[in-house]
Structure 1
Amino acid sequence: MIPLKHAVIVGANNVSIEVARMLADKYEVRIVDSNEDACNKAYKTLKSAAMVYKGDPSDENVLNEVGVDRAELFLALSEDDKLNLEACRVAKRRGVPLIIARVNNRDMEGSFRELGVAIVNVESLVSDNIKNLVLSDVARVLTVDQSTNLAFAIVRIGENSPMVNRQIGYLVENYDITIPYVITAGGAIKPGNDYIIESGIELVIVGTLSNVERFINEVSTE
């Protein structure tokens, strides 16, 4: 059995619960929130799909206890932008390869971008027009920043995918996307353009929504 990857979610709210359900088949999901009632609700709703911790998500000691050092994915999804930003700073210092933050106030977007964090609004995160892609056999995470129309996806490469044995540079040039990370059994790495794609790996894809959707559709043609 392939071991589950680790994901940390900040905020125990309806959005977090929905995202945790989407990730549960591939990730060991851990949710952290300082509100006891919210934690109890998430625990009762998700049951074994996620572990729920009560604590301040902006506190580095709390995030260490939750397991931020092992996380391949960090999602700051609370309704408090300042809390999300502080939590993302901790995740960034700890070297989490993929950090995505919910931004409720557009005036805060610049702070997250300066940190190098992917940002989304809550509507795009779970909207119906991307939900099928999120739950598909190919793309297990897809979020869209509606202010820039940039999409962020984690895409699995199947055994019979037409992308097997292609170079990263070929995908970047032909689909007008960027691929900042490749996730292998050994963890996340930053690939060069000459990196050869193998089946079983996952690609972190960034590009316009139309280009990312086109790539996902063609990857799934197996």
Structure 2
Amino acid sequence: MKIVIVGAGAVGTHLSKLLSREHQDCILIDDDEERLAKMSEYDVMTYCASPTSIRALKEAGVPNADLFVGVTPEESTNINACILAHALGAKKTVARIDNYEYLAPSLQPFFKNLGLDSLIYPEVLAAIDINNGLKLSWVRQRWDVHDGALTMLGIKLREQAEILNQPLKDLCGPDDPYHIVAIKRGGDTIIPSGMDELRVGDLAYFMTTKEYIPYIRKIVGKEHYTDVKNVIMMGGGKTTVRAALTTPDYMHVKIIEKDAKRCEKLNELLENQDTMVIHGDGRDLGLLEEEGIRNTQAFVALTENAETNILACLTAKKMGVRKTVAMVENLDYVSMAESLDIGTIINKKTIAASHIYQMLLDADVNNLRSLMMVDSEVAEFTAAEDSKVTKKPVKDLGLPFGVTIGGLVRDGRGMLVNGNSQIEAGDSVMVFCHEQKLNNIEKYFKKNAIW
């Protein structure tokens, strides 16, 4: 596949690195030589030029591109570049935007006519992940499929868990209401077999159905975690605004922002919300005490500084907050943040890159998430008529090592999958993929794939 990306910022460079590992034909365009120079160690062609130069787009091979991605910091540049790329012959285009109005479903045909196949607003995607996490205070990461018909939960295991130090074959057999698809232990990712055991400190990924979420909470020993009602958010950027606008009605949100003018803007943007905006520094212990940190169930640090967010979450934990969320945009800090046990980690560029990456797959992929902690992806594939995955029971499919099918949704009902399960055409199938290229997996789900 040929992919052209304009914008060597955080999202563009991360997506380029991801594609270079997949050995895709990728070219990265930016008008800043220094930004492009940082990509020299990766298998990515770079081209220093204006993203909206027709000559440059032609020379970069846009007329033959399977996917054109506009992810510069400027929304108008991204939209214009995609319009030009479509006119030149690019098969699919996607633009990063920062205007929420453009995401309205009624406007999709309008943008499609302009030549934009998809719009990505990273802050909105991050806000969805934040609020999904806040709804379950005892979960590190949550991913719902088909309105929660199937749910994947990433849970840190403590001493109270009743499923520790027992072979998984005795815990989650074919008739049990959950599967464990991955375990993060120290710096290692384990794709578990029946003889593997869960240990204290593991980050375990459970696949289950929504009716069994309370049961999972019990067996992992998290029943004493109180539900989130009071939330303090630090930093008043776009991600905070989108998160505050979409928190459930039963949650009360306070936002702490250092800049006085930004506080005024936040009050305008959130005037119809049950949200209090406070001018101050979220690291000020006295201010946190004054604003009721001891009676707060969740602390969300969303400044642009990863170190500030990590330290603020550590402080909040010491002050008794159970649920902490930190935005960590510098990927070099992600493993450190996890080792410090700060809680949920949000990274906008990996979230955005996942949504863009799923457009590259030929199979019917409805959703794709990157799990930073376990260096893996979870993808929702739809099984095509006459595809290989429908020919045999799961145990006989010959799936590559590192690939696990966790569950499926059939006619709106979530079902867990075991070795004897038979996947049918039209099923939405949840595939966990570690250290495997997703384009090696999609062939199982494509119609009349050649073997």
Q: TM-score range by the shorter chain?
A: 0.5 to 0.7
Residues in 2 aligned to 1:64 and 1:213: alpha-carbon distance in whole angstroms: 46
1:119 alignment counterpart = 345
1:77 is aligned to 2:302: yes
1:116 to 1:213, Cα distance in 2 relative to 1, 3 A: farther
Q: How far did residue 38 of structure 1 move?
A: 1.8
- Kindly provide the CA deviation profile for residues 104-132 of structure 1, in whole angstroms up to 9, marking residues without a partner as x: 11122233212212211124679996xxx
Q: What SS is found at the alignment partner of 2:326?
A: strand
1:42 alignment counterpart = 266
Identity of aligned residues (%): 24
8 Å contact from structure 1 (residues 34, 55) kept in 2: yes
Q: How far did residue 213 of structure 1 move?
A: 9.8
1:144 to 1:120, Cα distance in 2 relative to 1, 3 A: farther
- List alignment gaps of at least 5 residues for structure 2: 1-227, 356-368, 378-404, 416-451
8 Å contact from structure 1 (residues 42, 52) kept in 2: yes
Residues in 1 aligned to 2:354 and 2:345: alpha-carbon distance in whole angstroms: 19
Residues in 1 aligned to 2:345 and 2:245: alpha-carbon distance in whole angstroms: 20
Task: List, as ranges, runs of 4+ consecutive aligned residues in structure 1 with deviation greater than 3 Å.
Answer: 123-129, 143-151, 210-214
Q: What TM-score, normalized to structure 2?
A: 0.28
Q: What SS is found at the alignment partner of 2:329?
A: coil
Within the candidate set 226, 230, 237, 1:13 is matched to: 237
Q: What TM-score, normalized to structure 1?
A: 0.55
Q: What SS is found at the alignment partner of 2:314?
A: helix
Q: How far did residue 91 of structure 1 move?
A: 0.8
1:107 to 1:128, Cα distance in 2 relative to 1, 3 A: closer
Residues in 1 aligned to 2:376 and 2:312: alpha-carbon distance in whole angstroms: 23
Q: What SS is found at the alignment partner of 2:299?
A: strand
Q: How does 1:76-95 map to 2 (within 5 A)?
A: 76-95=301-320
- Kindly provide the CA deviation profile for residues 166-220 of structure 1, in whole angstroms up to 9, marking residues without a partner as x: xxxxxxxxxxxxxxxxxxxxxxxxxxxxxxxxxxxxxxxxxxxx96997xx749x
Q: How does 1:194-205 map to 2 (within 5 A)?
A: none
Within the candidate set 368, 374, 382, 1:148 is matched to: 374
Residues in 1 aligned to 2:352 and 2:231: alpha-carbon distance in whole angstroms: 17
- List alignment gaps of at least 5 residues for structure 1: 130-142, 152-209
Q: How far did residue 71 of structure 1 move?
A: 1.4
Q: How far did residue 98 of structure 1 move?
A: 1.1
1:144 to 1:76, Cα distance in 2 relative to 1, 3 A: farther
1:159 alignment counterpart = none
Deviates further, 102-111 or 116-125:
116-125
8 Å contact from structure 2 (residues 233, 253) kept in 1: yes
Q: What SS is found at the alignment partner of 1:84?
A: helix
Q: How far did residue 56 of structure 1 move?
A: 0.9
1:17 to 1:114, Cα distance in 2 relative to 1, 3 A: same
1:184 alignment counterpart = none
1:32 is aligned to 2:256: yes
Count of equivalent residues: 144
1:109 to 1:61, Cα distance in 2 relative to 1, 3 A: same
8 Å contact from structure 1 (residues 32, 66) kept in 2: no
- Give the residue type in structure 1 aligned to 2:287: V
Within the candidate set 63, 67, 91, 2:292 is matched to: 67
- Kindly provide the CA deviation profile for residues 62-115 of structure 1, in whole angstroms up to 9, marking residues without a partner as x: 222222211112111111112112211111101211111100111222332122
Tell me which of the two structures has the higher relative contact order, counting C-alpha pairs closer than 8 angstroms and 6 or more residues apart: 1
1:207 alignment counterpart = none
8 Å contact from structure 1 (residues 119, 145) kept in 2: no
- Give the residue type in structure 2 aligned to 1:59: D
Within the candidate set 101, 105, 117, 2:330 is matched to: 105
8 Å contact from structure 1 (residues 120, 146) kept in 2: no
8 Å contact from structure 1 (residues 39, 53) kept in 2: yes
Q: What SS is found at the alignment partner of 1:56?
A: coil
Within the candidate set 51, 71, 77, 2:276 is matched to: 51
1:108 to 1:29, Cα distance in 2 relative to 1, 3 A: same
1:23 is aligned to 2:244: no
Two-structure CA RMSD over aligned residues (Å): 3.3
State the structure with more CA Rg. Answer: 2
- Give the residue type in structure 2 aligned to 1:148: V
Q: How far did residue 42 of structure 1 move?
A: 1.2
